[in-house]
């Protein structure tokens, strides 16, 4: 039975918008992409000496198990040139499983819901745009509630209508 998964997307190297669009195109390998947020221009967190990010959230209806979905996302990252050289550092593409239906997963290398999503404006803004009522299965808060309660003051804004995903 298909599950709705929410995938966070980010890029800050090269043609960031094109990388995000290509990642969404390739996410069709995981299932059917049934929704997509706007693109958001966001300042980096953690390691700040890097270019701003483009972030978005995709909604994928998938038959893949959580581990297989993670493998698919990792494969897409690799094909799009992702290299891991610095924690929270620059990347051509980053795909994170934010939510997988109402499941809670805590395995080596895979934690769902994403453990930092409730504290990240660059995740919650696009998530609340496309699924304001989706519920965090641990915190029992909707995306809209988490965003409104967030203390994060980072700059996160829509990039503009010319950057909407196809």
Catalytic site positions: 82, 91, 94, 96
User: Does residue 165 contact residue 36 with C-beta atoms inside 8 Å?
Assistant: yes
Partners of 142 in beta bridges? 135
**Residue 106 three-state SS:** strand
User: Does residue 93 contact residue 27 with C-beta atoms inside 8 Å?
Assistant: no
140 C-beta neighbours (distance < 10 Å), count: 8
User: Does residue 99 contact residue 3 with C-beta atoms inside 8 Å?
Assistant: no
d(CA 63, CA 47): 35
Between the CA of residue 116 and those of 17, 26, 30, 97, 99, what are the distances in Å? 23, 25, 23, 11, 12
d(CA 102, CA 105): 10
Residue of 14, 24, 2 lying closest to 126 (CA atoms): 24
């Amino acid at each position: 039975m298909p599950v709705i998964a929410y995938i966070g997307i980010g890029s800050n190297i090269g043609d960031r918008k094109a990388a995000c669009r290509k990642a969404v195109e390739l996410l069709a390998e995981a299932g059917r992409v049934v929704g997509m947020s706007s693109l958001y221009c966001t300042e980096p967190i953690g390691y700040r000496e890097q270019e701003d990010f483009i972030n978005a959230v995709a909604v994928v209806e998938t038959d893949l198990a959580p581990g297989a979905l993670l493998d698919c996302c990792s494969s897409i990252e690799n094909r799009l040139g992702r290299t891991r050289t610095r924690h929270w550092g620059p990347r051509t593409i980053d795909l994170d499983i934010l939510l997988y239906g109402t499941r809670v997963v805590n395995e080596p290398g895979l934690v769902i819901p994403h453990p930092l999503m409730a504290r990240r404006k660059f995740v919650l803004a696009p998530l609340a745009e496309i699924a304001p009522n989706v519920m965090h299965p641990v915190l029992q808060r909707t995306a809209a509630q988490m965003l409104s309660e967030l203390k994060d003051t980072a700059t996160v804004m829509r990039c503009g209508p010319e950057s909407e995903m196809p």
